[in-house]
Structure 1
Amino acid sequence: MWKQLLLRQRTAAMAAVSAAWTASAVTCSSDDKMTPPELTAYLKRNLAAFRQEFAKSHPNVPTHPIQVSHQTNVVRLSFQSPSSSTDTPVHRFLRAVGTPVEVVPSPTDDTLNYIFTDASGSFQWLPTKSKDNLFVLFKDLPISRTEADAVLAAYTHAYLSHRPVTPKASSEGAIATLQQLGLDVYDSSTSGDLTWDALAGYDEVKREIDDTVVLALQNPSFFENIAKHTRARFESNRPRAILFEGPPGTGKTLSARIIASQAKVPLIHLPVESIVSKWYGESEQKLAKIFDACDQLETGAILFIDEIDALASDRSSGTMHEATRRLLSVLLQKVEGFASSQKVTLIAATNRKQDLDSALLSRFNLTIRYDLPDKATREAVFHRYAKQLTDEDLHQLAAATATWSCRDIKELCEYTERKWASQVLRKQQDSPVPSVEAYVVAVEHYTAKRPATSITSSSVHI
């Protein structure tokens, strides 16, 4: 019911604007024929009257003109029309002009040519590279008032039926699409600011990312201005596709979230399992939809693909499944498109760079290496999750975990806290926080229980 009411209200508003414009429009005899200068003046006056009425009930007044050009005995009239019009100008023009036409498909593309049966002219409705479409009329001179009014009717109807999509609505729709496809969307405006303090250690990696990625996203014009003054042919110097490589648990995902937070754009996290499907062709369709939805985010975004090696293994091995080959083809095409994107940055992570397809590797214009944390970084991670320990305690624990990742250390500290809490509840411990000995026991426990993980045997001496 409410939809029908809104439709009736909108139709009434459109009719009111159309009627008011018709009443105020500049008129002349129906038999009048116009020269190009007269036609230009006639269109200009009537467009001004239409825009004045349009502005009374619409916030965005159309500014596109009706272009008039002529050669010898033929005049060309054209105007841009919003692609979101509910009806094309073709229908309104045909009703208004009253001259029969023959529809002839173009021999070179998918467009149609509308040719007047009296051989007095033709018109086309053409898609363009922009978000608008183009209406073009070729007509023998002189042109009649009826024909000029038909062009005006097509123009006014195109904008009266236009339902603009605001950037906010476009972004909200894109985010909803991404979430329906199984992706996680992290928005810094709602989840809070995230800084490099959240990632312990890795000072050189942080500095490299800040210098080449974060600052470029925060100051795009400044970076591109340098490129304009240094390159013979301008192209953006900002990285559009970035590869994070290194062992699991070294901070790759967290770094992507920090970059998005610092750049004030959403992070779109694409887990590999979200696009895998048993149905033929569905996986690559979902992947294409994900990239297309990201491109609709008006504020820009970071698209983060974790474990990209699962999607893009090396084709030269000869063992690639046909479904994976099709998926890789879509991925290559979309990543290539990111090179010209001004809004979306792709970050992919892998711990098996050697297994990635060479064609995909060539599309990344920046690679950041995450190694297992050095001793200083391990001390920093232990301090983050066990701040009650002394510097000597941290030094000894870091020495005992030489092959551990940051995630391993975090999990160790969480395990230690849980064990300590249970002992306090059983009256086996008095201190509210774990002692260094408790962490030593946990290291020995993890080493014995997880020999096949990134944690290897280490002797602990306190």
Structure 2
Amino acid sequence: MWRQIHARRIAAALTATATAVAGWNASTSTTCADDKSMTPSELTAYLRRHLASFRQAFAKTHPNIATQPIQISHQNNVVRIAFLAPSSSPSILHRILKELGKPIEVSPSTSDESLQYIFTDATGSFQWLSTKSQGNLFVLFKDLPIYQREVDAVLAAYTHAYESLPVAKSTASSPKAAIATLQQLGLDVYDDTTSGELSWDALAGYDDVKTEIEDTVVLALQNPDIYENIAKHTRHRFESNRPRAILFEGPPGTGKTLSARIIAAQAKVPLIHLPIESVVSKWYGESEQKLSKIFDACDQLEDGAILFIDEIDALASDRSSGQMHEATRRLLSVLLQKVEGFASAKKVTLIAATNRKQDLDSALLSRFNLTIRYELPDLATRQAVFQRYAKQLKEDELKDLAAQTTNWSCRDIKELCEYTERKWASQVLRKKLHQPVPTLDAYVSAIQHQTEQRSNTSVHI
């Protein structure tokens, strides 16, 4: 019986090896020559950097499972990498071989029931050791130098061993459980305890934009019955007239994110902020799964919410160029399906922001009920921003500063004022100044400094 089981294990290993090597011969043989070699110290730094981000994300989805450390040692020009893993399934072996991209010989161990996977160039080997006290132990030996592809194979084995574990599920499908799920997936959730009493006073200027948002979004969220009653008496077939998917477009720093937070605060619903990095993953299919889980969790928020996706162009670039990566295409497909579902949802509103509308996929653009444009602030708006952050100045001084900051965003002006305050405080501490707050000249000097910094900044494309 043992021989039959062992034979099946060898056959499975050979199958995985053949599949992975065939894929390597077809697609990756041209890149092996560019593989980067690493010293032991570079290896340690590389693993530490990649493991930190993985463990942070894993802890959010598996809060009750502790990850094990990876042990690295080297002696007599040989590196040893080892770690304990929660499993040693065939899919993990396939992931190693695919990432490794080189022919492997499979050989039964002479000392136990494990299999040895030996590099055909005789520079290294690895194996899974099953121990009663410690569990599954992965060990790799490699003659120096060790290459990045080989290190990535170890990372693939480590991460896949943990990612194959089931995600922690909430015991209830309540809004509270949905919020917990969203936070575990890496999203930021802002409610009345974190946002406070945010109002449009927090956004200087942009009166036309504020009015448009108030009339079409905020009032509709606050008074859904009135808007739906109008739709019922004007349409043959009832459909909600409230916007479910809204696009904010315009240059960076013009108040798009702040507007989303204000809308949520005014409507008294949580704002769910989706950072792009919380979705994107290098593993096949994981990004689409995460995005789908995020939308599904939002559907459980019965009292409503605002789902805010900043820089949506990073997720949904235009397909017409024909150069879209397969992973991006799959992610876009999920996004289109979920946004279409939001159009018929009862409570949750999607707000997406971009400063590159021309790069968005046309199918996604058609899903938005409303597009609101944020221009760079005009003279009056810039003066209003300066009034907010330099209230000690006279009106004519504020107007002078506004005139000197054409084509500056609201964020640029805010950061300018903060820079001026820091420089002024340093001079006060050094006893070089005695006036408690900055003067007009201090702000003018800061504008000149920032303008010079901008002109000296080179951009590489």
Counterpart residue number, 1:374: 378
* Equivalent in 263, 266, 283 of residue 262 of structure 1: 266
8 A contact 2:382–2:402 mirrored in 1: yes
* Equivalent in 354, 357, 363 of residue 358 of structure 2: 354
Output one character per residue of 1:401-456: Cα deviation in whole Å (capped at 9) or x when no partner: 001000000000000000000000011111110001000010011011123779xx
Deviation at 1:167, TM superposition (A): 13
Q: What residue identity is the alignment partner of 1:324?
A: T
Deviation at 1:372, TM superposition (A): 0.1
* Equivalent in 268, 286, 292 of residue 282 of structure 1: 286
8 A contact 1:189–1:264 mirrored in 2: no
Deviation at 1:190, TM superposition (A): 4.9
Normalising by the residue count of structure 1, what TM-score does the alignment of the two structures yield?
Answer: 0.61
Counterpart residue number, 1:191: 195
User: C-alpha separation between the residues in 2 aligned to 1:340 and 1:281?
Assistant: 26
Structure 2 runs not aligned, ≥5 long: 1-169
Q: What residue identity is the alignment partner of 1:202?
A: Y
Deviation at 1:170, TM superposition (A): 0.7
**How does 1:381-420 map onto structure 2 within 5 Å?**
381-420=385-424
User: C-alpha separation between the residues in 2 aligned to 1:275 and 1:168?
Assistant: 24
User: C-alpha separation between the residues in 1 aligned to 2:457 and 2:197?
Assistant: 33
8 A contact 1:268–1:304 mirrored in 2: yes
User: C-alpha separation between the residues in 1 aligned to 2:366 and 2:194?
Assistant: 36
User: C-alpha separation between the residues in 2 aligned to 1:261 and 1:375?
Assistant: 28
* Equivalent in 181, 189, 200 of residue 204 of structure 2: 200
8 A contact 1:167–1:298 mirrored in 2: no
8 A contact 2:195–2:261 mirrored in 1: no
User: C-alpha separation between the residues in 2 aligned to 1:167 and 1:252?
Assistant: 36
**How does 1:6-405 map onto structure 2 within 5 Å?**
170-405=174-409
User: C-alpha separation between the residues in 1 aligned to 2:457 and 2:278?
Assistant: 25
3-state DSSP class of the match of 1:216?
Answer: helix
User: C-alpha separation between the residues in 2 aligned to 1:395 and 1:269?
Assistant: 35
Deviation at 1:168, TM superposition (A): 9.3
Q: What residue identity is the alignment partner of 1:242?
A: I
Deviation at 1:261, TM superposition (A): 0.3
Go from structure 1 to structure 2 and tell me whether the alpha carbon gap of 1:323 and 1:279 turns closer, same or farther (over 3 Å shift). same
Deviation at 1:299, TM superposition (A): 1.2
Structure 1 runs not aligned, ≥5 long: 1-165, 455-462
Go from structure 1 to structure 2 and tell me whether the alpha carbon gap of 1:452 and 1:280 turns closer, same or farther (over 3 Å shift). farther
Go from structure 1 to structure 2 and tell me whether the alpha carbon gap of 1:251 and 1:452 turns closer, same or farther (over 3 Å shift). farther
Deviation at 1:394, TM superposition (A): 0.6
Output one character per residue of 1:50-99: Cα deviation in whole Å (capped at 9) or x when no partner: xxxxxxxxxxxxxxxxxxxxxxxxxxxxxxxxxxxxxxxxxxxxxxxxxx
Bigger drift between 169-178 and 279-288 goes to 169-178
Counterpart residue number, 1:425: 429
Normalising by the residue count of structure 2, what TM-score does the alignment of the two structures yield?
Answer: 0.61
Q: What residue identity is the alignment partner of 2:406?
A: A
8 A contact 1:250–1:372 mirrored in 2: yes
Q: How many matched pairs?
A: 289
User: C-alpha separation between the residues in 1 aligned to 2:338 and 2:386?
Assistant: 41
Larger Rg: 1
